[in-house]
Structure 1
């Protein structure tokens, strides 16, 4: 899940909520939406390989 921050950056959050904290994990902050999308694809790849 990618959200735009007030600062204009994009933050990548985990798809599922953490059961202990009931929040999503921060998986990185990026300057552009394209960079965030690329990292999300990388994360999904490594989850399965």
Structure 2
């Protein structure tokens, strides 16, 4: 899940919520949405391989 921050950057969050905190895990902050999408694909690849 990618969200735009007030600073104009994009942050990648995990899809599932953390059961302890109820918030989503921060998986990195990127200057462009394209970079965040590339990293999201890499994360999904490593989750399934």
- TM-score, length basis structure 1: 0.98
Count residues in correspondence.
49
Moved over 4 A (4+): none
Does the alignment pair 1:30 with 2:33?
no
Which structure 1 residue ranges, 5 or more long, are not aligned?
none
How many angstroms apart in 1 are the aligned matches of 2:6 and 2:18?
Answer: 24
Does the alignment pair 1:17 with 2:17?
yes
Which structure 2 residue ranges, 5 or more long, are not aligned?
none
How many angstroms apart in 2 are the aligned matches of 1:24 and 1:39?
Answer: 17
How many angstroms apart in 2 are the aligned matches of 1:14 and 1:35?
Answer: 16
How many angstroms apart in 2 are the aligned matches of 1:7 and 1:20?
Answer: 28
